[in-house]
């Protein structure tokens, strides 16, 4: 069995190299570097990439006869490059060696999750039996978030001589990691300057084009034995060349220590001077690694998750990547949740609704990070208000894809790689993203008890989203209900009615139900605010009684469509044609991207009852059964076990799972229902990235929502756990494949509450400390208290 704290690839397979690079990315919440082989520049097989959280750049490109803009998470200069070749005594120099060299005999990549260290071992042997073992170790420092380091050790076998090594800082990089975007302008770095400082420090500065941000990378190259270094600077990079003597029992090593600084750092620095000073001052490699390890140890303690077996190993990998993208360092930054991590260029580093799957975990374990992500949204509230105003709406309309400024960044056109056609992209009509922001505000405040946030920034966002929904809902006198028309639901397949001249569908049940929920929460919040705060906020937002009366009315009379005894995904969904799923599966095998298949056949998925991912079923992910029936009852609809089960079965049969979020949500919903297939979906969610289930997409960046979502699935989905003002509510369901596990979380003012789940039993241990005993609420409203310093067992 594979070791529980590692990810390992013991062979070099060029076709999976991009996947390895993405899954072996190292990061610290501020920046991340893909786990690429240092020997290789970007090309068809390899794609080195370094990304700084929130570092976007806007360019315009001509595509399909139109000018379009794209704001990308910028690929920064490659600091990892290292070229080497053997110079045997008395013989001609060998070729530059890479994993693609014919001489490669052995290759092994090992990611140590506990320590956050990536090791790559290569062994080359030429026709004359001369061997060279090369071992690289890399870290991106979790304690000092501007540092990273890479040590390479060379050992010669059967010969003596030298290894010629070139330590490269390469600024001639572009954003070219995703084939589908190759028509878009990918040059984001300008004004390169390079140079050297004493002490083996090479530096490179450049800036993004728009908005201009100065970037400096300094790399200190130190060798053992200490040898003279030849320094060469080009316009876009530096090379430090050194001859390292090797021979019997004589290893040589080269350490590159990177410091990455920008003009946006806080406190403000002059990037070049700061990077050079950081690189020069940085401790030796072993000391860097031990401080880095210690920082990781602290994180693993806060996020302890003890799940046995292979599922546990994958969950650890997921948590590792979550914490590398969003670490406590993130709390100091103005950044959101990049859907594909800092691991690649898919979706251009944009922020979607995926925080809905990430925040609940952070609320329970890293509340300061959760809060900072909400503040990213709050700083962009003015942009969301402006977007609403421009659309003739009220309140705040958050963008479907957000990046630096908070304006809408969704592309206007997207490429269907199957047909080669550029198509209009209407996904920006996913207005439900606003409800995700409001939901996260509410859940964060409930879980952490941070009323300071809720009553200030949180209230502003929640109320402005509520206001948006109230304005977006129009009364249909014939129906006697409010309708929200012209939107797109989480299932992105349906972006219009077949043959309709304008995009959008009407009354997406998920959109309408969550809108009603936001309105109801907005009203609750106003009721509960301290009187002075309420008046101040109402005055500032100009919320008069008439408007609040309308919120009441809309929150009780929004329309939810039904057909054949199930909730309709949207009005008219039940009248669409049925797809012959078996025929399509037989013809194409993988039909996850059914939309692309149908479009390439000159058909459209809009004609069919076929969904990309969980849409209506998302309601079962967000709300407990009693909350969902309460929400439906408020709207005058019936939602009970029978309706819910019928709805789940209905969409299960009509979903292609074209997003990694889909199996996650289905796994969650089925686990709660104790459905037969629950584990199949949970397993698919677990495998999403490690097995690259979506056919090659992981190499372009991990799926952060699904990764975080799987941890949350174990911690909240299976346990039915909710931390809130009343304590810790738990209602575990039995999942045969995951009978026992444990984790720690923050609840009731305690850090490090440990929950252990066993078949039919559950234990809660509260750490010793001054906070009050923790109330545990079990099914049937059975309440118990667990005093600090004690553990209590409960029968389920």
Upstream peptide bond of 323 is cis (omega within 30 degrees of 0): no
Identity of the residue, 166 or 491, whose beta carbon is nearer to ligand BGC in the bound complex = 491
Q: Smaller CB distance to ligand BGC: residue 355 or 571? A: 355
Q: How far apart are CA 426 and CA 501, in angstroms?
A: 13
Nearby residues of 455 by Cβ (< 8 Å), 6 or more positions away: 529, 530, 533
415 binds ligand BGC (CB under 6 A): no
Provide the minimum distance between the beta carbon of 558 and ligand BGC in the complex, in angstroms, as a whole number.
Answer: 22
Site for ligand BGC in 731-760 (CB under 6 A): none
Give 253 or 511: the residue with its C-beta nearer to ligand BGC: 511
Helix pair 509-528, 433-448: axis angle to 10 deg: 40
Specify whether the CB–CB gap between 709 and 715 falls below 8 A: no
Which of 78, 185, 278, 492 lies at the binding interface for ligand BGC (CB under 6 A)? 492
Scan for tokens 């068809």, then name that residue: 44
In angstroms, the CA 438 to CA 794 distance is 34
Q: Closest approach of Cβ 429 to ligand BGC, in Å?
A: 13
- Tell me which residues in 584-613 interact with ligand BGC (CB under 6 A): 612-613
CB of 466 to ligand BGC, least distance (A): 22
Angle between helices 545-557 and 509-528 (to 10 degrees): 140
Q: Are 469 and 384 in contact (CB under 8 A)?
A: no
| Cβ-based nearer residue to ligand BGC, 208 or 404 | 404
Choice between 353 and 743, CB closer to ligand BGC: 353
Q: Which stretch binds ligand BGC (CB under 6 A): 345-353, 364-372, 494-502, 648-656?
A: 345-353
Judged by CB, which is closer to ligand BGC: 9, or 376? 376
Q: What minimum distance in Å lies between the beta carbon of 701 and ligand BGC?
A: 9
Among the listed ranges 346-354, 683-691, 711-719, 743-751, the one in contact with ligand BGC (CB under 6 A) is: 346-354
- Range in contact with ligand BGC (rule: CB under 6 A) among 8-16, 114-122, 349-357, 761-769: 349-357
List 217, 387, 438, 661, residue binding ligand BGC (CB under 6 A): 661
Contact 228, 207 (CB under 8 A): no
492 tagged catalytic = yes
Q: How far apart are CA 672 and CA 532, in angstroms?
A: 42
CB of 182 to ligand BGC, least distance (A): 20
Is residue 352 near ligand BGC by the rule CB under 6 A?
A: yes
What minimum distance in Å lies between the beta carbon of 492 and ligand BGC? Answer: 5
The set of long-range contacts for 683-688, using a CB threshold of 8 Å and a minimum separation of 24, is 683/311, 683/737, 684/657, 685/660, 685/709, 685/710, 685/713, 686/311, 686/314, 686/315, 686/710, 687/314, 688/660, 688/663, 688/664
DSSP annotation string for 337-364? -BTTTTS--GGGG-B-STHHHHHHHHHH
Dist CA 683 CA 738 (whole Å): 11
Give the contact letters, 607-646, x = binds to ligand BGC (CB under 6 A), - = no: -----xx---------------------------------
Instruction: Identify whether the C-beta of residue 510 lies closer than 8 Å to the C-beta of residue 489.
Output: yes
- Pick the piece of the chain touching ligand BGC (CB under 6 A) from 21-29, 55-63, 348-356, 506-514: 348-356
Q: Which is nearer to ligand BGC, 159 or 608 (CB)?
A: 608
> How far is residue 718's CA from residue 537's CA, in Å, rounded to a whole number?
39
How would you class 135 by CB atoms within 10 Å of its CB: exposed for 0-12, middle for 13-18, buried for 19 or more? middle
Which of the residues 471 through 490 are near ligand BGC (CB under 6 A)?
490
Q: Show contacts with ligand BGC in window 281-310 (CB under 6 A).
A: none
Least gap, CB of 53 to ligand BGC (angstroms): 17
Q: Which of 492, 571, 683, 715 is catalytic?
A: 492
Cβ proximity to ligand BGC: between 159 and 510 the closer is: 510
- Six-digit token pair at 566? 């199930």
Cα 701 → chain centroid: 9
As measured in angstroms, the least distance from the Cβ of 660 to ligand BGC is 8
Write the CB contacts of 514 (distance below 8 Å, at least 6 apart in sequence). 432, 435, 439, 619, 622
CB atoms within 10 A of CB 235: 9
Query: Applying CB under 6 A, which of residues 353, 366, 632, 681 lies at the interface with ligand BGC?
Result: 353
Number of C-beta neighbours around residue 625 at 10 A: 16
Q: Residue from 115, 163, 322, 339 that binds ligand BGC (CB under 6 A)? A: 339
Nearer Cβ to ligand BGC, position 152 or 663?
663
Residue with smaller CB distance to ligand BGC, 223 or 662? 662
Q: How far is the CB of 358 from ligand BGC (least distance, A)?
A: 11
Which residue has tokens 């390895």?
20
What minimum distance in Å lies between the beta carbon of 333 and ligand BGC? 20
What is the C-alpha to C-alpha distance for residues 630 and 770, in angstroms, rounded to an integer?
37
Whose Cβ is closer to ligand BGC: residue 57's or residue 425's? 425
Residues 385-404 that bind ligand BGC (CB under 6 A): none
x-or-dash pattern for ligand BGC, window 225-244, by CB under 6 A?
A: --------------------
Strands 201-208, 117-125: pairing is unpaired
Q: How far is the CB of 706 from ligand BGC (least distance, A)?
A: 8
Backbone angles phi, psi at 742, to 5 degrees: -145, 155
Q: Which of 39, 57, 278, 354 binds ligand BGC (CB under 6 A)?
A: 354
Residue 352 or 468 with smaller CB distance to ligand BGC: 352
- The footprint of ligand BGC on residues 699-738 (CB under 6 A) is 705
DSSP 536: H
d(Cα 39, Cα 101) in Å, to the nearest integer? 11
Q: Minimum distance between the CB of residue 318 and ligand BGC, rounded to whole angstroms?
A: 15
In angstroms, how far apart are the furthest CA atoms of the chain?
94
Choose between 29 and 705: whose C-beta lies nearer to ligand BGC: 705
* 659 scored as a contact of ligand BGC (CB under 6 A): yes
Find the radius of gyration of the CA atoms of the chain: 27
Q: Indicate the helix (H) or strand (E) that contains 461.
A: helix 459-472
Report the alpha-carbon distance of residue 467 to residue 461 in Å, rounded. 10
As a 3-state breakdown, the chain gives helix, strand, coil percent values, each rounded to 5, of 35, 30, 35
* Residue of 79, 203, 296, 347 interacting with ligand BGC (CB under 6 A): 347
- Interaction of residue 688 with ligand BGC, rule CB under 6 A: no
Provide the 3-class DSSP secondary structure of residue 727. strand
**Smallest distance from ligand BGC to CB 472, Å:** 20
Count residues binding ligand BGC (CB under 6 A).
12
CB 396 within 8 A of CB 461: yes
Positions marked catalytic: 492
Which parts of this chain interact with ligand BGC (CB under 6 A)?
A: 339, 347, 352-354, 490, 492, 612-613, 659, 661, 705
């Amino acid at each position: 069995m594979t070791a529980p704290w590692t990810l390992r690839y013991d062979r070099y397979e060029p076709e999976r190299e991009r996947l390895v690079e993405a899954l072996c990315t190292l990061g610290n919440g501020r920046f991340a570097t893909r786990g690429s082989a240092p020997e290789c520049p970007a090309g068809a097989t390899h794609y080195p990439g370094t990304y700084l959280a929130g570092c976007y750049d806007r360019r315009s490109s001509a595509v399909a006869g139109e000018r379009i803009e794209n704001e990308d998470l910028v690929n920064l200069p490659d600091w990892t490059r290292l070229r080497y070749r053997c110079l045997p005594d008395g013989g001609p120099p060998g070729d530059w060696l890479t994993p693609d060299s014919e001489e490669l005999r052995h290759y092994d990549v090992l990611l140590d999750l506990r320590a956050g260290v990536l090791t790559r071992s290569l062994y080359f042997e030429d026709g004359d039996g001369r061997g060279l073992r090369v071992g690289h170790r890399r870290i991106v420092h979790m304690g000092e978030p501007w540092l990273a380091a890479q040590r390479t050790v060379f050992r010669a076998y059967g010969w003596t001589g030298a290894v010629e090594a070139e330590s490269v800082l390469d600024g001639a990089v572009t954003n070219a990691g995703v084939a589908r975007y190759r028509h878009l302008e990918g040059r984001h770095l300008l004004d390169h300057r390079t140079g050297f400082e004493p002490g083996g420090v090479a530096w490179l500065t450049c800036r993004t084009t728009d908005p201009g941000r100065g970037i400096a990378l300094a790399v200190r190259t130190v060798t053992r034995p200490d040898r003279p270094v030849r320094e060469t600077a080009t316009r876009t990079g530096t090379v430090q060349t050194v001859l390292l003597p090797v021979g019997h029992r004589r290893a040589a090593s080269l350490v590159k220590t990177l410091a990455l600084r920008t003009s946006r750092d806080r406190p403000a620095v002059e990037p070049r001077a700061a990077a050079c000073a950081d690189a020069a001052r940085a401790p030796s490699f072993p000391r860097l690694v031990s401080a880095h390890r210690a920082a990781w140890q602290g994180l693993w303690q806060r996020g302890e998750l003890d799940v046995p077996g292979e599922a546990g190993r994958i969950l650890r990998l997921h948590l590792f990547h979550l914490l590398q993208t969003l670490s406590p360092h993130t709390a100091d930054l103005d950044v959101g949740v990049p859907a594909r991590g800092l691991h690649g260029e898919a979706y251009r580093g944009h922020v979607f609704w995926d925080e809905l799957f990430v925040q609940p975990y952070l609320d329970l374990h890293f509340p300061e990070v959760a809060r900072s992500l909400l503040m990213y949204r709050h700083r962009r509230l003015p942009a969301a208000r402006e977007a609403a105003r421009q659309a003739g709406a009220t309140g705040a309309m958050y963008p479907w894809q957000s990046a630096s400024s908070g304006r809408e960044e969704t592309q206007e056109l997207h490429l269907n790689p199957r047909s080669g056609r550029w198509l209009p992209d209407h996904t920006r009509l996913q207005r439900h993203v606003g409800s995700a922001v409001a939901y996260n505000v509410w859940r964060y405040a409930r879980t952490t008890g941070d009323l300071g946030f809720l009553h200030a920034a949180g209230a502003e966002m929640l109320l402005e989203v509520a206001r948006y929904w109230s304005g977006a809902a129009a009364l249909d006198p014939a129906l006697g209900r409010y309708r929200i028309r012209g939107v797109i639901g989480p299932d992105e397949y349906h972006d219009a009615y077949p043959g309709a001249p304008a995009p959008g569908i009407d009354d997406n049940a998920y959109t309408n139900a969550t809108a009603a929920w936001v309105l109801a929460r907005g009203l609750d919040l106003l009721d509960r605010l301290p009187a002075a705060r309420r008046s101040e906020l109402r005055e500032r937002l100009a919320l008069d009684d008439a408007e609040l009366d309308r919120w009441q009315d809309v929150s009780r009379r929004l329309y939810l469509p039904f057909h054949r005894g199930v909730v309709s995904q949207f009005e008219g969904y039940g009248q669409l044609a049925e797809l012959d799923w078996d025929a399509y599966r037989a013809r194409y095998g993988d039909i996850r991207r059914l939309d692309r298949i149908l479009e390439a056949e000159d058909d459209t998925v809009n004609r069919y009852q076929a969904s990309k991912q969980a849409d209506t079923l998302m309601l079962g992910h967000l709300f407990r059964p009693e909350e969902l029936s309460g929400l439906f009852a408020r709207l005058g609809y019936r939602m009970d076990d029978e309706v819910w089960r019928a709805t789940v079965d209905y969409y299960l049969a009509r979903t292609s799972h074209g997003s990694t979020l889909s199996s996650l949500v289905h796994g969650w919903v089925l686990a709660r229902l104790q459905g037969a297939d629950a584990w199949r979906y949970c397993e698919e969610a677990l495998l999403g990235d490690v097995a690259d289930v979506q056919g090659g997409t992981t190499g372009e960046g991990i799926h952060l929502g699904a990764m975080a979502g799987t941890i949350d699935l174990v911690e909240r989905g299976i346990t039915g756990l909710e931390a809130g003002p009343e304590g810790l509510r738990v209602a575990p369901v039995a999942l045969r494949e995951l009978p026992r596990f444990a984790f720690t979380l923050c609840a009731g003012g305690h850090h490090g509450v440990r929950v252990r789940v066993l078949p039919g039993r559950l234990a809660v241990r509260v750490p010793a400390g001054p906070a009050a005993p923790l109330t545990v609420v079990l099914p049937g409203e059975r309440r118990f208290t667990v005093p600090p310093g004690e553990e209590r067992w409960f029968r389920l």
